[in-house]
Amino acid sequence: MGIFKKKNDLYLSDKQPLTLVGKIGLLLSYIVLIIWSYAILWPLFQMVVSAFNGEQGKNLMLNGNFEFSFKHFEYLFNETLYLRWVANTIFIAITTAILTLIIVSFTGFAYSRYRFKGRKASLMTIMLIQTIPAFAGITAYFTMHSIISSVVPSFSRQMMLILIYSGGGIAGNTFILKGYLDSISTELDDAAKIDGCSNMKVYRLIIMPIARPMLAIIALWSFIGPFMDYLLPKVLLTSPESYTLAAGLFTLVNNERSLNQPAFAAGGLLTAVPIVIMFIVLQKQLVSGLSKGSVKG
């Protein structure tokens, strides 16, 4: 009985009660988090209100009357090239994600499972490439486009943008996927090879199903990139018909003739829809990828 009584006097966890300094620190942490949340949520709230406020004119009025209306969305669809911008962005985003996934899955697998000459040097090069901003090579991009388009006349500036996004994402994502694959035991590879699997079958049947969560994250990052980037599309794409969403919507706030800030807010709100859909689709892969691939048979 004495032993049980002594155990009952122990805390349920190893954590000691907070001291006065600990309580003050916890309070300050909550205050910082609340301020940070307010700084993020307040602009989003204003964007949603402005997008549906029929009382808004061409300029945003944060402290005005509110009348629920879809007129800013109607302006966006009827008076601008918004649908064309959406189609351009989705095409670029999907193509970029597919190209990045195909190349990164092979390069990540190769760096993780093979030992070859120049492996460490190339990995260091990949790390150093990440320190160079994409915009720094704008002159080289124009030169490359001129050379390729002279050989392939149908090569458009949008395709050049896809190559830039894919090429820029391959280096960092290869390093990330390589680190993830390094955590997967090579005993699975050996067991599959004993059963007669080739290296390609090991890659396709063993490694890729296990790596599906990381591949889903890479796909999501690659898909979001073209939606968020403004600078490169604005420089490389010369006609409004070829603009992406970021470049197209910016014409609603930087041009006096097409100025419509509430429509810009409505467009920004709708921009999140494809990203949310993509996240919902890939969320299933994040869960299912953890339970498949490592079971033999």
For 170-181, the pLDDT digits (tens) are: 888 888 888 888
The mean per-residue pLDDT over the stretch 129-150 comes to 77
Q: What's the farthest any 2 CA atoms get from each other in the chain?
A: 90
Give the amino acid at 181.
L
Q: Are 223 and 278 in contact (CB under 8 A)?
A: yes
pLDDT, residue 33, reads 95
Q: How far apart are CA 56 and CA 91, in angstroms?
A: 33
CA atoms within 13 A on the CB side of 59: 3
- Taking alpha carbons only, the member of 155, 157, 128, 125 closest to residue 141 is 157
In the chain, CATH 1.10.3720.10 covers 81-288
Q: What CATH class is the domain 81-288?
A: mainly alpha
Confidence of residue 35 (pLDDT cuts 50, 70, 90): very high
Tokens 């968020």 sit on residue? 228
Tokens 């004993």 sit on residue? 194
Confidence check: pLDDT of 139 > 50: yes
- Number of neighbouring beta carbons within 10 Å of residue 183: 10
Contacts for 93 with CB less than 8 Å, ≥ 6 apart = 222, 223, 224, 225, 226, 227, 274
For 274-285, the pLDDT digits (tens) are: 888 888 887 777
The mean per-residue pLDDT over the stretch 88-101 comes to 93
Tokens 């122990």 sit on residue? 10
Residue 28 has φ and ψ, to the nearest 5°, of -65, -35
What HEC string does the chain produce? CHHHHHHHCCCCCCCCCCCHHHHHHHHHHHHHHHHHHHHHHHHHHHHHHHHHECCCCCCCCCCCCCCECCHHHHHHHHHCCHHHHHHHHHHHHHHHHHHHHHHHHHHHHHHHHCCCCCHHHHHHHHHHHCCCCHHHHHHHHHHHHHHHHHHCCCCCHHHHHHHHHHHHHHHHHHHHHHHHHHCCCCHHHHHHHHCCCCHHHHHHHHHHHHCHHHHHHHHHHHHHHHHHCCHHHHHHCCCHHHCCHHHHHHHHHHCCCCCCHHHHHHHHHHHHHHHHHHHHHHHHHHHHCCCCCCCCC
Confidence of residue 133 (pLDDT cuts 50, 70, 90): confident
Question: Where is pLDDT greater, at 143 or 271?
Answer: 271
